[in-house]
Structure 1
Amino acid sequence: MAEAIVTDVAKEILSKMANKVKTISDSLKKINEEANGFGLTKAKLVNANPEKIPNRETDETDSSVDHSEILTCLQTLQCFVVGQGTGFQIEELGRLNQLKGILGIRRLEHVKDKEASKTAKLVEKAKVYALGFCWSGGREGNHNNDEEVLEGLQPHRYLKSLTIVGFGGEKFPSWMLTSHDARDGFLLYSNLIDIQLIDCKKCEVLPTLGLLPCLRDLYISRMDNVRSIGTEFYGNYNDGGYDKILFPCLKSLQLSSMPNLVEWTDAMEPTSTGSVFPCLKDLTILECEQLKSAPCHFPSLEELVISQTKSTTFEKISSKLATLTSLVIGGISELASLPEQLFKNNSSLMSLKIWSCYDLVSLSPHGDVWGFYTSLRSLEISNCEKLSYLPDGMHTLRSLENFEVRSCPNLRSFPSIKGVALPLRTLAISCSDEVLPIDLQSCISLSSLGINECPNLISIPNLQDLHSLSSLTITSCKRLMGLPDGLDYLTRLKSLSIGGFCEELDAFPRLSSIQHASLETLKLYGWAKLNSLPDDIQRFTALTQLSIRKFDQMEALPEWLGNLSSVRNLDLRDCMNLMYLPTAGAMQHLTYLEIWDCPKLKERCVKGSGAEWLKIAHIPNIWIHGYHIKG
């Protein structure tokens, strides 16, 4: 369960961080899918004869077709794949005189040198506002020509978005490292608003980006050889200080998967007219395990995501923050408690999420901290093994709507908020107490309630007052002997996950107390003794999704499952002895079947030859042990 929680939280964080990498348009996102998840899409050709378009699936062309005329009239080419021997060559881009919008160039390892790449004439394509350069992953040997090739791919100065993926050179080209155009003194690429540098594993130094006046979003990932981010990153120093605003428009910055990054220094002390990161709203640092230091001047920072790095880095970054509204902390080593100034200086904090901080003992060493967080709406803590207590005073969190504590096995002291009416809408709790520390009857606004991994819990209070509840989860409570009272009053309940109770029980608790038929999603968790499903689930005629897990002694699913004619999705997991499915007729309405860790059933569902295959062959979408068998 703990691993699943960490995975879920990590996915959520990664998803959130991905959303921060804003691109010029939805199409630009397609540039980032090739090398280890960042690639280029197939070509989209506009104003060309479709019959003369090369075979883009094989990256080959019909040698009998004269496509030079096609190229001259193309206006949109989202992806150009450089051929090796056959296929389009880089010089053919030079004839795309009308090209505009987004252009991704893929398989640049097939370009010989600078002179060849210059024939693409990108510097002349003023209407191309977004460029993606991609070298294939997994290459071996010397990549010295990557530097020459990228040097020759200098874009037009009106470029707005630049993505570089898989570049194998040790340094970036001069057109990225030079602040001004030697021809006229103008600032190069002053229109750039989005930069992504990904998988440039041999580069040791980042380009100077602090002077770009319009840069809003910067994403740097998997640059393994970068050990320090310093003055070269900011630029324009005069006599020991800087006299300009550096990164004047930057709003989102992400550093991720940089295993050798040790230090990220502050810009030098500013002069009276200088400043740095004045507009930065979102900062994400992920998987920089060696990073020991970082800047502390982020005057406008609202969202901070920091994960898998050292506590000193987090403490330095947070030391002067005063504008945070959202904080996510994950996998910070040697972090025993959160810095005191973080609580005192950020009264506008609305969301706090902490996960997998294995050395965390308490949120604060000085007791009550909730008084500083009157705006807090969401608090989530998960997988913090040493966390022993939460501070008292949670009754002051009058704005709290979401409260989740999961997989904190040593949490012995839980703040009591009994008799306090909080505006909670989501509550998920894991604790070691015999009685829940929260007065559920007072949480009348709850729409989602989760009670998980409470090994000593012996009872759950009556739920009849929770009229707004639409989702209820009660799982892995090994001393529970039955269901709570009041379930028949939950007329809005749509989703129910239940089970994993006392293993002395020979049968699943009766669900007859749930009288209404509004339930749409049902997850049943069994235990070692159980050899059958509770037959009263037949009353849930509105069910569309049914999940059955950990019924270890059950060998066959009952034929009466066919009575649940509304069920479209069936999920079977961790049923070690399950071998037999109901008839095809009983499963005729299914559109999705997933089977995980049911070894005997897996063998009997082999496509085309398994004993159970004919029963499920009609189902449009089938997954078995992670493999997409059909659909």
Structure 2
Amino acid sequence: MDKKYLEALNLAWKDDTNDSKHDREVLENLLPHTNLKRLSIYGYGGTAFPNWLGDHSFCNMLSIRLVDCKYCNSLPRLGQLPSLTTLHIEQLSGVVSVGAEFYGSSERKAFASLKFLSFHKMSNWEKWSSFEVEDGEVFPNLQKLEIRGCHKLMNVDWPRNLPSLTELNIYESEVLLSSLPRTPAIRKLNLGKCEKLQLQELPQTVEWISIGGCHGVESFIDILRESPSRCHLQYLGIHDCSSPITFPTACLPTTLTELKIKNCEELEFPMHHSLKTSSIQKVSIINSCGGSGSLKFVPLDFFPNLKKLLKITSCKYLESLKLPDGQLCQNLTTLIIGGPNFISFPKGGLHAPNLIQLRVQYCKKLKMLPEQMHNFLPSLEALWISNCPEVESFPEGGLPSNLVELLVLNCSKLIAGRMKWNLQKLQALRWFVIKDDDEREGESAGVESFPEEGLLPSTVEHLNIMGIGSLKRLDIKGLQQLTSLTALFIQCCPQLHKLPEEGLPTSLPHLYIEECPLLKERCQKEKGQDWAKISHIPIIHIDRERI
């Protein structure tokens, strides 16, 4: 308490307590000076916090973090700290109810300056009661409220009014809200899974909303159908809805720029409604739109103003993307596509002159990538293809010349024909990643040596060889051709037992080896058999430890 210049204090208990009373006495007697501004307490083993924590004499306190104080069964009287702006409470598993003790005196404003409040992983928290003060103001300046991983929280009694709240986030929780607080300034609502929420109207200030649970989604969609023009949404997310429901494509707000649908397998997505006036630029549909298979064939011109992203993955009914003959997918920059039954891109090729990134993933039946990629995708810089076991080769004509990143992961037939990839002409290629997981029976290309001479262009700067269970040796001739190489990553290659006799390129500045037990043994600093081959490399990490 004599350290009057101390502004920040972190107190951490490392191990589980054997004496709760002793922990309480220690914290009680570590009374800091009232000039303290920031306080963090981790792993405290007492059953209650000391009286000084929350005393209004700490008028300079700005920030408090209480983490993993699992034996405390109540929160301290923090509402009386006049300058407190940030409060984070996490893993206080002994707390079942939050009420009057949290706010403090009814004669003063509670949490008068608080702007950010978060509760994380409160595993036994069931009830949050409101508290009335004489002037009626609780959290008058609260701007952001966050509740994450509080699975037992069923009863939330909001303060009558949260006049400054702009963002409410409920993550990884099934908080059973029946209503929302009065929030005249709200901009962002992330409501988690809401099975009891009764939405009568949506505040006109809301620009961003994510809502889950069948009842909450249905309630929200009813509002959209009744008065879409009153909404000013820019982002809409719908998730975890198991009931059959029709998505209101005909009455989306014209202000909407981003749409995300996740884990809504019975959601119908009518494709016959025109969205020519839609301003949607980003669309993500994940594990959704099953039922009658309304997204079996997706016309790319359905979202005419799509620019930043189209992502459709894990949708079991998706079979193909369609694009009318001669029409361009003019503005799209990122396309991520995948699904167990996806079999084809638009016939004749994907005409997307501004596409920068293409990811094709988990397409078990797909046999061909888009035709004429070198002509129709002139702006493509990143191509990721993963878990597409039936793809045997790249399209005729090869890959676009501006390609910077190429990742080929668990595509056994494609990898088996790697010497036909003709990558030498890709003089912009900087980043190359390959993975061939031979733990999956019958789906390995059996790569024993890599990278073969002539496979990669000399421009490659980052080379990542990962998960190749059959790899036994590195090809020194292939490595020596990579004169621009700045980082070599070797990960999860259990049969790779030594480095080439010639060592690694002398110009290599970074080497990363991870989960390669035989190689790790030989590369031990100063005593490993291969240490002399790598000792010239300035930066070496083995199993994430810099040596």
Is the structural similarity TM-score above 0.5?
A: yes
For the Cα contact (< 8 Å) 1:262–1:290, is it kept in 2? yes
For residues 251 and 437 of structure 1, the distance between their equivalents in structure 2, rounded to whole angstroms, comes to 48
Shift of 1:246: 2.8
Shift of 1:219: 0.4
Shift of 1:613: 8.3
Identify which of 133, 139, 146 aligns with 2:11: 133
Shift of 1:425: 1.0
Kindly tell me: are residues 447 and 548 of structure 1, through their superposed partners in 2, closer, same or farther at Cα, counting changes over 3 Å? same
Shift of 1:281: 2.3
For residues 254 and 87 of structure 2, the distance between their equivalents in structure 1, rounded to whole angstroms, comes to 33
Q: Which secondary structure does the structure 2 equivalent of 1:559 belong to?
A: coil
Kindly tell me: are residues 556 and 169 of structure 1, through their superposed partners in 2, closer, same or farther at Cα, counting changes over 3 Å? same
- Tell me the equivalent position of 2:282: 402
Q: For 1:586-606, what per-residue CA distance to the aligned partner results, in whole angstroms no more than 9, with x for missing partners?
A: 456433333344332336534
For residues 337 and 616 of structure 1, the distance between their equivalents in structure 2, rounded to whole angstroms, comes to 61
Q: For 1:76-120, what per-residue CA distance to the aligned partner results, in whole angstroms no more than 9, with x for missing partners?
A: xxxxxxxxxxxxxxxxxxxxxxxxxxxxxxxxxxxxxxxxxxxxx
AA of the residue aligned to 1:405: I
For residues 417 and 489 of structure 1, the distance between their equivalents in structure 2, rounded to whole angstroms, comes to 15
AA of the residue aligned to 1:294: V
Shift of 1:569: 1.7
Identify which of 482, 491, 499 aligns with 2:378: 491
Kindly tell me the number of residue pairs found equivalent between the two proteins: 481
- Tell me the equivalent position of 1:590: 485
Kindly tell me: are residues 528 and 467 of structure 1, through their superposed partners in 2, closer, same or farther at Cα, counting changes over 3 Å? closer
For residues 487 and 283 of structure 2, the distance between their equivalents in structure 1, rounded to whole angstroms, comes to 33
AA of the residue aligned to 1:573: M
- Tell me the equivalent position of 2:268: 389
AA of the residue aligned to 1:379: L
What is the 5 A alignment of 1:155-170?
Answer: 155-170=32-47
For the Cα contact (< 8 Å) 2:276–2:304, is it kept in 1? no
For residues 428 and 589 of structure 1, the distance between their equivalents in structure 2, rounded to whole angstroms, comes to 33
For residues 615 and 510 of structure 1, the distance between their equivalents in structure 2, rounded to whole angstroms, comes to 40
The answer to whether residue 439 in structure 2 is matched with residue 546 in structure 1 is: no
Shift of 1:142: 0.9
For the Cα contact (< 8 Å) 1:259–1:288, is it kept in 2? yes
Identify which of 131, 146, 165 aligns with 1:301: 165
Query: Is the strand fraction higher in 1 or 2?
Result: 2
For residues 274 and 175 of structure 1, the distance between their equivalents in structure 2, rounded to whole angstroms, comes to 26
Kindly tell me: are residues 597 and 340 of structure 1, through their superposed partners in 2, closer, same or farther at Cα, counting changes over 3 Å? same
AA of the residue aligned to 1:232: E
For residues 18 and 37 of structure 2, the distance between their equivalents in structure 1, rounded to whole angstroms, comes to 33
What is the 5 A alignment of 1:405-484?
Answer: 405-408=285-288, 410=290, 412-414=293-295, 418-430=301-313, 431=315, 432-436=317-321, 443-460=329-346, 465-484=351-370
For residues 251 and 341 of structure 1, the distance between their equivalents in structure 2, rounded to whole angstroms, comes to 30
Q: Which secondary structure does the structure 2 equivalent of 1:548 belong to?
A: strand
- Tell me the equivalent position of 2:214: 336
For the Cα contact (< 8 Å) 1:519–1:540, is it kept in 2? yes
The answer to whether residue 20 in structure 2 is matched with residue 143 in structure 1 is: yes
- Tell me the equivalent position of 2:394: 509
AA of the residue aligned to 2:39: L
For residues 539 and 319 of structure 1, the distance between their equivalents in structure 2, rounded to whole angstroms, comes to 60
- Tell me the equivalent position of 2:544: 628
Q: For 1:45-92, what per-residue CA distance to the aligned partner results, in whole angstroms no more than 9, with x for missing partners?
A: xxxxxxxxxxxxxxxxxxxxxxxxxxxxxxxxxxxxxxxxxxxxxxxx
Structure 1 gaps, min length 5: 1-121, 179-186, 238-242
The answer to whether residue 144 in structure 2 is matched with residue 275 in structure 1 is: no
- Tell me the equivalent position of 1:249: 113
Q: Please give the TM-score of this superposition, normalised by the length of structure 1.
A: 0.66
The answer to whether residue 467 in structure 2 is matched with residue 578 in structure 1 is: no
For residues 467 and 10 of structure 2, the distance between their equivalents in structure 1, rounded to whole angstroms, comes to 44
Identify which of 291, 313, 321 aligns with 2:153: 291
For residues 108 and 394 of structure 2, the distance between their equivalents in structure 1, rounded to whole angstroms, comes to 70
- Tell me the equivalent position of 2:235: 351
AA of the residue aligned to 2:10: G
Q: Which secondary structure does the structure 1 equivalent of 2:275 belong to?
A: helix
- Tell me the equivalent position of 1:195: 64
For the Cα contact (< 8 Å) 1:434–1:456, is it kept in 2? yes
What is the 5 A alignment of 1:523-542?
Answer: 523-529=407-413, 530-533=415-418, 534-542=420-428
Shift of 1:229: 0.7
Kindly tell me: are residues 311 and 174 of structure 1, through their superposed partners in 2, closer, same or farther at Cα, counting changes over 3 Å? closer
For the Cα contact (< 8 Å) 2:65–2:88, is it kept in 1? yes
For the Cα contact (< 8 Å) 1:329–1:353, is it kept in 2? no
The answer to whether residue 91 in structure 2 is matched with residue 206 in structure 1 is: no
For residues 375 and 251 of structure 1, the distance between their equivalents in structure 2, rounded to whole angstroms, comes to 29
Shift of 1:509: 2.5
What is the 5 A alignment of 1:259-274?
Answer: 259-268=123-132, 273-274=135-136
Q: Which secondary structure does the structure 1 equivalent of 2:320 belong to?
A: coil
Root-mean-square deviation (Å)? 3.7
AA of the residue aligned to 1:277: F
Structure 2 gaps, min length 5: 196-211, 225-229, 438-443, 497-515
Shift of 1:515: 4.3
AA of the residue aligned to 1:582: D
For residues 403 and 514 of structure 1, the distance between their equivalents in structure 2, rounded to whole angstroms, comes to 26
Shift of 1:144: 1.7
For residues 588 and 491 of structure 1, the distance between their equivalents in structure 2, rounded to whole angstroms, comes to 26
What is the 5 A alignment of 1:67-146?
Answer: 122=1, 124-135=2-13, 137-146=14-23
For residues 416 and 556 of structure 1, the distance between their equivalents in structure 2, rounded to whole angstroms, comes to 43
Shift of 1:448: 1.4
For residues 515 and 453 of structure 1, the distance between their equivalents in structure 2, rounded to whole angstroms, comes to 24
Q: For 1:125-173, what per-residue CA distance to the aligned partner results, in whole angstroms no more than 9, with x for missing partners?
A: 33333222222x2234113222222222223333322222222111111
AA of the residue aligned to 2:96: R
Kindly tell me: are residues 539 and 322 of structure 1, through their superposed partners in 2, closer, same or farther at Cα, counting changes over 3 Å? farther
For residues 278 and 439 of structure 1, the distance between their equivalents in structure 2, rounded to whole angstroms, comes to 55
